[in-house]
Every structure is written in C-alpha cells, then in structure tokens.
Amino acid sequence: MGRFFLRRFGQAAIAIFGVTTLVFFIQRLTGDPTLLLVPETATKADIEAMRHTLGLDRPMIVQYATFLWDLLRFDLGRSFIQNVAVTTIIAARLPYTLALAGGALFVAFVIGVPVGVLLAMRRGKASSGGLMGVVLAAQSMPTFWSGILLIMVFAVWLGWLPPSGPGGFSHLIMPSVALGLLSMATFARITRTSILDELSKDYVRSARARGVSTRRLVLRHLVRNASIPVVSIAALEISHLLAGAVIVETVFAWPGLGLLTIQSIVSRDFLVVQAIVLLGAFVTIGLNFLADILYSVIDPRIRLDGGPS
Amino acid sequence: MSALPHEAVAVERPFRRRWWAAPMLPFILIFAAFVLLAIFAPLIAPYEPNVQNLLGRLKPPGAVVRGVTYVLGSDELGRDLLSRLIHGARMSLAAAVLSVMLSGAVGTMLGMAAGYARGWVEAVVMRIVDVFLSVPAVLLAIITVAVLGPGFTNVVLVLALTRWPRYARVAYGQTLSVANMPYVRLARFMGAGRLRILFVHILPNIIGPLTVVATLEFGLMVLFEASLSFLGLGVQPPTASWGAMLSVGRNYVSSAWWIATFPGACLFLLVLSVNLIGDSLRDLLDPKSRTRRKE
C-alpha cells in the first residue's frame, strides 16, 4: 500500500509541476504577457513600468522560478483591474461554484443511479431502450442549450423559478439540473455496467437459486457492490462539473468562478484567469489521486497494475 | 495486413453487415444532411446570412416582412435565422474537421514515436500527455484563447492544442502492441527505415482505434467550438456560428424563443448523431470497450 501510495503521489506531484509549467508558457505564447495584464488604454510608459514591476525584463528562467516560488506561498498576485489580491477575489466566488457543483452532483446521483439500476434490470426490454435513448440524448445535450430551454420553460412560460442571478435555493435549482444532466448520463451508464457485471457473478446465481427475489437482490446486494466504480467516477465527475460551470454560470448569471473567468477575460484581468485554471487543474489532479487511493483501499487488486515495474 | 488475414476478416465482416443497420440509418442521414448544408450553404440558404433588416427584427417563424419570408424567424438585427443556421453549420463542421485532423495528426505522430522509439522519447512525450490530460480541457482552451485572442484560426489551434494527447495515448498503446509483431520485425530486418516502418507498416494497423477516437472527439469538438463562441471567445460577429447565435438568444428568451431554440436543436442533433455513429463504430471495431465512456 505504502509503495503504491508513494508512486501515485509522485505522479500527482509531477502532474502539478507540469501544469504550472504549461500555464506559465501558455502566457508567453504571444511573446509578451504584459499586454495581457494592462488595460487597453495603457500608454507605452505604463507598459514599460508594468514590465519592470512584474520582473518581465528579467531572464525567463528567473521569471519561471519566481512564478513557482510565489505559487508555493499561495501568492497568486494582485489583480491590476480591481487592485485586490487574486486569492481574495477567488475566495469570494468559490462558495457559489461549490454550491452549484454540489447541486449538480446531487441531481446526477439521485437521477443517474436509479436510472442505471433500472436499465440493468430491464435490459433488452422496450422500456429500457427508450430510457437508454434519453440517457444518450442527455449526453449529447449542450449545457448552454439545456440551460436556456430550462429558463424558457420554468421561468418564462410557467414562471415557477427565477430565470437567473444569485439567490437562495430556488435560484440554484435550474443551474444544478442543467449542469447535472451530463453527469447524470455518465452515472447511469456506469451504474448499468457495474450492475450487469455483478449480475453475472456466482453469488447472484446462488442467491437466485435460493429463491431470493430480484428486487431484494438488487437493493440489498448489488447496489452496494456496484457502487465502487460509481464512487470513484464521482470524484472524476467533480472536475468535469467545475469545467462545465463556466458555461452554466454564464447562462444563469450565477456569480461563481466560471462567470468570474469570463468576466476576467473580458476585463483583461489575466492573473485571475490564470489562478482559476490552476485551481481547476489542481483540484482535478487531487481528485484523481484521491479516487485512485480510495479505489485501491476498497479493492486491493487494483494496486497490482500500479506496482513496481 | 496480409500477415493476419483471419483477423482482418473478423474486423471487416461485422463492419459491413452492421454499418448500415436500421437503427443507425437516421443518424447517418442527419449527419450527411448537415455536411451537405455546410458545403452548399450559399446555394441552399434563402437569404444572405449577414444582411440586416431593421423592420424585420425579432420576427417569429413564418413571418413575412416586405416580401421576405422568415421561415424560422429573424434575430435581433432582422437577419434570417434559417440562413444563419445553414451558414453556421459551416463554422461548426469546419472547426471540428480541422481541429480533429490537426490534433489527430500531431497526437498520432507523437504517440507512435513514443511507442516505437521508447526510452527518453517515450518518457517525455507520455509525461506531457499526462499533464495535458490532467487539466480540464475546457479550462485549457479558455486560457489559451484568452492569451491568443478569439477568431476561427485560433479556435482551431486551441482545440488541436488541447486535444492531441487523446490520440497520442491511443497511438502509443497501439504502437506498443504492434511494434513487436513478426511482420514489423521482418520489415526492420530487411532494412526498412524508421519512417517507412512507422507509416507503412504500423500506421495502417493502428488506424482503426484512432478513427474511433476521432469520431468521438468530433462531437466534442463541435461542442467546444460552440461553447467558445457562446462565451464570445470563438468566431467573431457578424459571422454566423451556432454558439454565438445561442448567446444572443439567451438575451431574448422571454421575447423571441426561436433565436436560441433552433441553433441549440441543430447542435444537439449534430452532436447526437456523431456520438451515436462513433459509439457504434467503437462497438464494431473494439468490442472490449463497449461500455466505457468517451472521456
């Protein structure tokens, strides 16, 4: 276990290092990142002064080292547009995105898992075919379109829910559904597969032979055993949700990190964009790491392929 | 190919038998229809996509204003929605085709190089692949467009930049399994150069799985292009693009439902048909991965 853990931890550390390097170089794709950081009205002298304050007139390798050192101290810089520390700006928006991701995960889980169980139980029947069609459709649905359709139906026509903007629970419902639909499809498919896997096992056959009803079998045994892959997929799905939040938050004017990304791009507040991308990458790497560890704790056989090579 | 005739037959037969199978036919037709619309857009579209008509603003589907019939309604500048939809198909498909080709070519070459050369090339390429795959692709695309600026060319470049690792990983794994096959060893023994071995002997044998990846990526690229355009980071106005049309429609949900509804429906149909075609292709070519998700 210790060996697998260390190895996997090393991989995660390399990935984090790689991502920061990637972001550092993407910034320099156009040559001079100063132009990304100054407002469009800046004069030549402003740009020159900025270049010096940022240390961009120093050698690339020094800049890179400084960049890494600042990150290690959780110093993401100050926004030039708002003149506030980037960490403060992000901290103010983070709760909104967390609430949205939580809501979406809830929707995906509560709908996706039962649908997956149903799909597995009724495999080969017409009702299952129709349901599978719905799942496939949900997977191909662009989130911005489903979001807009939700607004049309539930806010404009029926008037049941507020169309957009921040607020209480009722404001969170539609964004969560729009964002959760995609993950719902994933959960349904994974649940279906893992239940079908379980159904072919010996203990199921012997339980059936003892006369255990299918319903009882599924609820008492299968769901528990089949939940292992679902849980680990859930960890990965969270990072998809964070990326999807950019779109959904824009559609619903929900003031989380996703909307902040777009606002920062428009107002040319590049340090904020960079911080959000780094945060998203770190969360993804961290969750992947956790999922692998969790998986290997639940099912020790997994470690075999990650063993010494 | 000739080294393993029985395998080649086993792959091809069900392919021929099921490719045109009835359940898939409507989706293949939908996809073909979009391709035709995109290619012949100027001939099919009833009006010019960018001509404004301020008297015909926000007209519902079927409205007639001064002899101009808005079959699917008009947008906030009085432009014909149907014509813009047809021209928008061009943007979606062109961006997807180009970015899939570019990322597929780059990824395949790097993956094959890593799988064949092994050693440090393998270590470097595959670590870079891991890094790229550990960042949510949407975020990576957004930050790169933010740096490079919006526009069609940049969108294609960004999509290629963010998606090549998917092909590299598949090409790498496939090359590893093929590289020690007797026919490859024989070719090497007979003095074939590295490039010849890679492109003449290995590539044709690993192209199947790569095609499946490309099909599944294609739908994703259509969605990515639309997402970037929706966020204002893609193709710039007045060029018609489904994502940008949706973003306009978002502002008129309460007064003009048609502006957002039709581009969204097109996007949905296109992506759904491409995904289903990709899924069935994958089932045919690679039965083992029948249940896995595309990402």
B223 min Cα distance to partner chain A (Å)? 7
Nearest one of B44, B43, B47 to B80, comparing CA atoms: B47
Q: Which residues of chain B have pLDDT under 50?
A: 1-19, 289-295
Residues A253/A262, Cβ–Cβ less than 8 Å: no
Which residues in chain B have Cβ-Cβ distances shorter than 8 Å to A175?
Answer: none
What CATH class has B19-294?
mainly alpha
Tokens of B23: 């359940």
Query: Whole-angstrom Cα distance, residue A288 to residue A286?
Result: 5
Nearest to B61 by CA among B52, B74, B79, B49: B74
The ipTM (two decimal places) reads 0.80
B255 touching chain A per CB within 8 A: no
- Which residue among B130, B136, B230 places its CB closest to the CB of A144? B230
Can you say whether residue B278 is alpha, beta or left, with left for phi > 0 and alpha for psi between -120 and 50 degrees?
alpha
> What pLDDT does B96 receive?
92
- Check CB contact of A246 with chain B, cutoff 8 Å: yes
Q: Distance (Å) from the C-alpha of residue A108 to the closest C-alpha of chain B?
A: 16
Residue A200: the pLDDT is 77
pLDDT of residue B21: 57
- Does A11 reach chain B within 8 Å, measured CB to CB? yes
Instruction: Give residue B290's pLDDT.
Output: 43
Query: Is residue B227 within 8 angstroms of chain A, CB to CB?
Result: yes
d(CA A188, CA A111): 8
Determine the pLDDT at residue B292.
41
Using a 10 angstrom Cβ sphere, with 0-12 exposed, 13-18 middle and 19 or more buried, the burial of residue A164 is: buried
Regarding pTM above 0.95, the answer is: no
Q: Do A151 and B253 touch (CB under 8 A)?
A: yes
Q: What is the pLDDT of residue B291?
A: 42
Cα–Cα–Cα angle for A137, A142, A148, rounded to 5 degrees: 110
In this prediction, residue B104 carries a pLDDT of 94
Q: How distant is the Cα of A232 from the closest Cα of chain B, in angstroms? A: 14
User: How far apart are alpha carbons B1 and B261 in whole angstroms?
Assistant: 48
Angle at A241 between CA A105 and CA A286, to 5 degrees: 100
In a mutagenesis test of the B interface, which of A144, A248, A269, A309 is the best target, namely the one with the most B β-carbons within 10 Å? A144
Cα three-residue angle B143-B146-B152, rounded to 5 degrees:
110
Q: Do B275 and A193 touch (CB under 8 A)?
A: no
Q: What are phi and psi of A61, to 5 degrees?
A: -65, -35
Within the 143-202 window of chain B, which residues sit less than 8 Å (CB to CB) from chain A? Answer: 143-144, 146-148
Contacts B148 to A, Cβ<8 Å: 29-30
Before A163, cis peptide (omega within 30)?
no
3-state secondary structure of A287: helix
Q: Do A144 and B226 touch (CB under 8 A)?
A: yes
Cα nearest neighbour of A129 on chain B: B23
Question: Are A144 and B268 a contacting pair at CB < 8 A?
Answer: no
pLDDT for residue A147: 86
Chain A CB contacts of B143 under 8 Å are 23, 26, 273-274, 277
A contacts of B131 (beta carbons < 8 Å): 14-15, 18-19, 21-22
Cα angle A184, A190, A196 (rounded to 5 degrees) comes to 135
Question: Which pair of structure tokens corresponds to residue B192?
Answer: 């074939």
B271: contact with A, CB 8 A cutoff: yes
Q: Mutating which of A140, A249, A279, A288 best tests the B interface, going by the most B Cβ atoms within 10 A?
A: A140
What pLDDT shows up at residue B109? 93
Helix (H) / strand (E) element for B70: namely strand B68-70
Among A19, A141, A186, select the one facing B134 at the smallest CB separation. A19
Chain B CB contacts of A33 under 8 Å are 147
Task: Give the residue ranges of chain A where pLDDT is below 70.
Answer: 1, 30-33, 36-37, 39-40, 298-309
Q: Which chain A residues touch B260 with a CB distance below 8 Å? A: 145, 148, 152
Whole-number pLDDT of residue B286? 60
What pLDDT was estimated at residue B98? 94
The reply to whether A20 touches chain B by the CB within 8 Å rule is no
C-beta separation of B284 from B15 below 8 A: yes
As beta bridge partners, residue A85 has: A78
A60 interface with B at CB cutoff 8 Å? no
Name residues whose C-beta falls within 8 Å of residue B236's C-beta, 6 or more positions apart in sequence: B150, B151
> Chain B within 8 Å of A200 (Cβ-Cβ)?
no
- pLDDT above 70 covers a percentage of chain A that reads 92
Which tens digits make up the pLDDT trace of B117-156? 888 888 888 888 888 887 778 888 888 887 888 888 888 9
DSSP string covering B134-146, please? Answer: TS-HHHHHHHHHH
CA distance A206 to chain B (A): 26
CA distance A211 to chain B (A): 30
Give CA separation, A43 vs A40, A84, B250, in Å: 9, 22, 37
The reported pLDDT for the residue numbered B1 is: 40
**Within 10 Å of residue A8's Cβ, how many Cβ atoms?**
17
Which residues in chain B have Cβ-Cβ distances shorter than 8 Å to A15? Answer: 130-131, 134
